[in-house]
Structure 1
Amino acid sequence: MDKVSDGQGAWSMTAAAHPELWAFLAGLEQDQLLSGTIAAIESFGVFVALDDGPAHPVFPGVGFITYPELAWQRFEAVEEVVRVGQRVTCAFLQFDTWNGEARLSLRATRPDPFRAFADGTEVGRVLPGQVTALIPFGAFVRVADGVEGLVPLEELAWTAVEKPEDVLKAGEPVGVVVTGIDRERRRLLLSHRLALPDPARSR
């Protein structure tokens, strides 16, 4: 199997050694839809054996999907989204000339729930949600199917909070207020504090 060293111990396949594969990958266009079968699930991504084109000389499939490109929503295990042997149709992102593979996106073939949410939601709106994860600097809350927002530590309560576990529990329902929507970065900021009665006003 012909490879070329970069002088630092890393290796990449040469185009001359696999002209058929290179010609196939070079002829793909961005956003072109490619169908295939999930060939292998690894800790760094998912390989797809494409229906068209030559097989890969090294990897289980010519197509490759990184974890962020599998789904719009956050997931704990890859098997929640795809399984080996499953048929998929993905959008072509780019030709990875280092590995000789097609970088693909499964989520690009599905509607982005964040865009739909952002179109119908304004800052200041009160929403019901569910705590999905607690992290050192706050908590993630799901406010719609496939849409989660971050509640920063300082927005968990009116009083100072050292750990999110002191205020919330994973899985519990909570009320939150939308404080920021970043469409470009697909980020949603929430406040649990603003959904609670202000102790200063109750005095």
Structure 2
Amino acid sequence: MSDSVSAPEVEVEEIQLEDEGTPRVIVADDLGDLSFDDAIAQTIVRFDDGDIVKGKVVRVDKDEVLLDIGFKSEGVIPARELSIRHDVNPFEVVKVGDEVEALVIQKEDKEGRLILSKKRAQYERAWGSIEEVKEKNGSVKGAVIEVVKGGLIVDIGLRGFLPASLVELRRVRDLTPYIGKMMEAKIIELDKNRNNVVLSRRAWLEETQKEQREEFLANLKPGDVRKGVVSSIVAFGVFVDLGGMDGLVHVSELSWKHVDHPSSVVQVGDEIDVQILEVDRSKERISLSLKATQRDPWEEFASAHKPGELVYGRVTKLVPFGAFIQVAEGIEGLVHISEMSFQHVDSPDHVVEVGEELWIKIIDIDLARRRISISIKQAADGGEVAAEYQDIYGEHAYDDDGNFIGTYDYSAVDFEPETEAQKAWLADLESQRGTSASSEEDSQE
């Protein structure tokens, strides 16, 4: 009887096909000292709520994304947890095969699902870097994703708020064109507990343009006249863009006349000439004047008139000590109560009323103090009529001293009045035309 011979031990191998159809050899005892259960346990990722995990996108639907993180089941990222942007399309955020990070919101919900959030993982990562940027006084970059009340939302890994007043060096009215644009800004406020990040692009612009501003200011000198564009209007004046920085024209520097509101003089977008009044380099402020580029009406009046002349004016205001009368555009003179009549006057309204038009004589012109003294009672004595009125009647009607000596054919008068005084004269002439016509008719009868 022959001895039985045992068969030699042979390693058992299995042939498995991988997903791609490529055979892979599995050796039965390749686990070493590990049991099969232990080997399986080692393949399962361990984590807790709040942890950040990494995985591969295996499915994208309109309302959720499935992520394989090596857990016993795939994680679910709801559409609302994909991005800091509102109402996003999951297909525009991720695609199958993408590797993404996600924060564990709930290890197992009531349906046994693993709930993840991509945007919260992004948020946590972003906070760390943003806090570091803030400490180093750096800047952040991001795309504008929304226009909200009072400003813009910028995607900097989380939702950064950029107030409208801090978008540019001057306030912007329409923020819509900024949607989709990349912005670089400074962080001016950071509060993780309140999830609050406030940005300032203006601060970044001011910092990066500091050298340019310094050079711009260095080239401005008081007295220079520059062209500019009205950028904004406020109650106390207007801001003018000089092509690099804004300067302020105070309301008192807008016109030689009284200005109730700056909008009555200029409008946003108007191109105007302004004179540099003052440059404060330390505060980076530029004071401008519009009226300084225009001829002073007082200088014009003083050069064209002299004491003793007769001018025509309109009563603009009564005061206890007399009456103010406008004698030219932007020029008012005072008739003191003692110069209103040869008789004693108790109150100016006994002699004239607001809106009344009459002849007055210039007594004195004080250009330095911008004052003109005039008289009603002295006008009654006659005198030299101011040149603008001589032009109306003709030089032949006056003697060498300017006194009216002749008559005039009023029917021949035909001119376009350019001043209030000329309008008043025209009214007088038309009235006299009527009187002359009536006299001729009477004489013919």
- Is TM more than 0.5 here? yes
State yes or no: 1:32 paired with 2:224.
yes
The aligned residue for residue 275 of structure 2 is 91
| TM-score, scaled relative to structure 2 | 0.35
Shift of 1:28: 0.8
| Comparing 104-113 and 92-101, the one that deviates more | 92-101
CA pair 51-43 structure 1, distance change in 2 beyond 3 A: closer
Whether contact under 8 Å (1:34, 1:50) holds in the other structure is no
Helix, strand or coil at the partner of 2:372: strand
The aligned residue for residue 50 of structure 1 is 241
RMSD: 3.0
How many angstroms apart in 2 are the aligned matches of 1:185 and 1:123? 16
Helix, strand or coil at the partner of 1:157: coil
The aligned residue for residue 179 of structure 1 is 363
State yes or no: 1:188 paired with 2:372.
yes
Helix, strand or coil at the partner of 1:123: coil
Helix, strand or coil at the partner of 2:354: coil
Q: Deviations over 1:115-152 (max 9, x none)?
A: 22212211111111112333454332222233322223
Helix, strand or coil at the partner of 2:266: coil
CA pair 180-77 structure 1, distance change in 2 beyond 3 A: farther
CA pair 100-110 structure 1, distance change in 2 beyond 3 A: same
Partner residue of 1:41 out of 212, 221, 233: 233
Counterpart amino acid of 1:51?
Answer: L
Unaligned runs of 5+ in 2: 1-165, 167-205, 382-445
How many angstroms apart in 1 are the aligned matches of 2:331 and 2:298? 6
Counterpart amino acid of 2:229?
Answer: T
Partner residue of 1:117 out of 284, 293, 301: 301
How many angstroms apart in 2 are the aligned matches of 1:35 and 1:21? 17
Whether contact under 8 Å (1:36, 1:48) holds in the other structure is no
Shift of 1:182: 1.3
Q: Deviations over 1:141-167 (max 9, x none)?
A: 222233322223333333444544443
The aligned residue for residue 351 of structure 2 is 167
Counterpart amino acid of 1:119?
Answer: S
1:141-160 aligned within 5 A: 141-160=325-344
Counting aligned pairs with the same residue, the percent is 33
State yes or no: 1:105 paired with 2:297.
no
Counterpart amino acid of 1:143?
Answer: V
Whether contact under 8 Å (1:133, 1:141) holds in the other structure is yes
How many angstroms apart in 1 are the aligned matches of 2:270 and 2:277? 20
Counterpart amino acid of 1:193?
Answer: K
How many angstroms apart in 2 are the aligned matches of 1:178 and 1:64? 38
CA pair 106-49 structure 1, distance change in 2 beyond 3 A: closer
Higher relative contact order (CA 8 A, sep 6+): 1
Shift of 1:79: 3.7
**Structure with greater helix share of residues:** 2
How many angstroms apart in 2 are the aligned matches of 1:99 and 1:76? 29
1:128-143 aligned within 5 A: 128-143=312-327
Whether contact under 8 Å (1:71, 1:106) holds in the other structure is yes
State yes or no: 1:68 paired with 2:252.
yes
How many angstroms apart in 1 are the aligned matches of 2:248 and 2:346? 41
Helix, strand or coil at the partner of 1:29: coil
Shift of 1:99: 5.6
Helix, strand or coil at the partner of 1:117: helix
**Structure with greater strand share of residues:** 1
Counterpart amino acid of 1:180?
Answer: D
Counterpart amino acid of 1:88?
Answer: I
CA pair 74-161 structure 1, distance change in 2 beyond 3 A: farther
The aligned residue for residue 6 of structure 1 is none
Shift of 1:106: 1.0
| Comparing 20-29 and 142-151, the one that deviates more | 20-29
Shift of 1:196: 4.1
How many angstroms apart in 2 are the aligned matches of 1:151 and 1:135? 10
| Comparing 179-188 and 136-145, the one that deviates more | 136-145
